[in-house]
Structures are given as structure tokens and as C-alpha cells.
């Protein structure tokens, strides 16, 4: 039963990461290069910094933590960067990071999900680490979607080909 539960947890975590990745790609298709580093008001995080931050967090939590590799995150630079990446480069970085996180989740043994470790000063099991990584990613997917919608005044069509009015069976 425990093994089946872990398989199910891994599958749904990977699905959520892929779904968020798909949504970011759709949103970024609608964003213009000159919008990547625009501040959303007096405070907020530009699109480019959002992606750099997602990659840093996912690397620290899902990749370094689950694979027991050295954490080399430089969180401040995720927010202080003011350019230097194109939309294509940012999406490549995102895709590479998500692929690494998915591999870490899929390949981690049961012990990696049960054992506690300190990440960013918090103590989490591997389950907690993955929950954080997926939840944090989803949070920023929503921020990116919102900012692109505001900048371009359009719907992103995340579920344009899916009937969301269906009731549970």
C-alpha cells in the first residue's frame, strides 16, 4: 500500500509540474520581449525574475534535496537580475529545471521521501519538499499568468480545448 501511495504521489506531482510548465509556455507566448523585465507596479516581480526564482527554488527543494547534492542557490540574484535573458533562454532554463526536478522525483527512493532534511532553514521530509516545490511553482504560475493577462488584456486559453463545466462522475 505504501509503495502504491508513493507511486501515486510521484505521478501527481509530476503531472502538476508539467501542467504548470505548459501554462507558463502559453502565457509567455503572449508576452513580448520588452515585457520580460517590467515591474508590475511599485512592488512585484517581473516575468523574467519570476522564472529565475522558480528555477532557483525548484533546484534547491526538488533537485538538490531529493538527489542529496550540494545546494548552490543564490536567491538574491533571482530578484536582482534586470535582464540578460531572452524569453527563449528563460523558457529553456525553466524546461531544463523542470525536467531535472521530474527526474529527481521519479528516481528518488522511498527513503528520500521519508527522511527529514533542512531546506532554507525549514525541516521537511521528502514528501514535504515535493509538496513545497509543486505548491511554490503553482503559485508563481498564477502570478505569471495574471501579469501577462494584465499587460496584454487577453485570456491565455489554458483550457480552451477542455470542457470545464463537466460534473464529477
Mean pLDDT is lowest, of 29-38, 39-48, 143-152, for: 39-48
Cell of 69: 547534492
**Other C-beta atoms lying within 10 Å of the C-beta of residue 47:** 23
Taking only the tens place, the pLDDT of each residue in 53-94 is: 999 999 999 999 999 899 999 999 999 999 999 999 999 999
What is the biggest distance separating any 2 CA atoms in the chain, rounded to whole angstroms? 51
Instruction: Please determine, for residue 124, whether its predicted confidence score (pLDDT) is greater than 70.
Output: yes
Q: Does the pLDDT of residue 2 top 80, yes or no?
A: no
Segment 18-35 shows an average pLDDT of 97
3-state secondary structure the chain: CHHHHHHHHHHHHHHHHHHHHHHHHHHHHHCCHHHCCCCCCCCCCCHHHHHHHHHHHHHHHHHHHHHCCCCCCCHHHHHHCCCCCCHHHHHHHHHHHHHHHHHHHHHCCHHHHHCEEEECCEEEEHHHHHHHHHHHHHHHHHHHHHHHHHHHCCCCCCCCCCCCCCCCC
Whether the per-residue pLDDT at 132 is higher than 80: the answer is yes
Record the cell numbers describing residue 116, joined without a space.
Answer: 527529514
> Any idea where the domains of the chain sit in the sequence?
2-152
| pLDDT (0 to 100) of residue 1 | 59
Please state the rounded mean pLDDT for residues 110-139.
Answer: 96
Average pLDDT score over residue span 157-165: 93
Per the structure block, which three cell numbers stand in for 76? 538574491
**Has residue 118 got a pLDDT over 80?**
yes
**Contact, 133 vs 101, CB < 8 A?**
yes
Q: Hey, what CATH topology would domain 2-152 get?
A: 1.20.120
What does the mean pLDDT of the chain come to? Answer: 95
Band (41; pLDDT cuts 50, 70, 90): confident
Q: Which pTM value belongs to this model? A: 0.95
Amino acid at each position: 500500500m505504501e509503495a502504491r501511495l508513493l507511486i501515486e504521489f510521484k505521478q501527481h506531482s509530476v503531472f502538476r509540474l508539467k501542467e504548470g510548465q505548459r501554462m507558463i509556455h502559453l502565457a509567455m507566448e503572449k508576452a513580448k520581449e520588452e515585457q520580460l523585465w517590467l515591474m508590475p507596479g511599485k512592488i512585484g516581480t517581473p516575468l523574467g525574475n519570476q522564472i529565475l526564482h522558480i528555477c532557483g527554488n525548484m533546484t534547491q527543494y526538488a533537485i538538490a534535496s531529493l538527489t542529496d547534492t550540494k545546494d548552490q542557490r543564490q536567491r538574491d540574484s533571482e530578484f536582482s537580475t534586470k535582464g540578460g535573458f531572452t524569453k527563449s533562454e528563460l523558457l529553456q532554463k525553466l524546461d531544463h529545471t523542470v525536467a531535472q526536478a521530474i527526474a529527481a522525483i521519479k528516481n528518488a527512493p522511498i527513503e528520500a521521501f521519508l527522511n527529514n532534511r533542512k531546506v532554507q532553514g525549514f525541516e521537511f521530509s521528502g514528501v514535504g519538499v515535493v509538496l513545497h516545490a509543486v505548491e511554490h511553482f503553482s503559485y508563481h504560475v498564477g502570478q505569471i499568468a495574471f501579469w501577462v493577462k494584465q499587460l496584454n488584456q487577453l485570456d491565455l486559453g489554458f483550457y480552451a480545448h477542455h470542457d470545464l463545466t463537466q460534473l464529477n462522475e
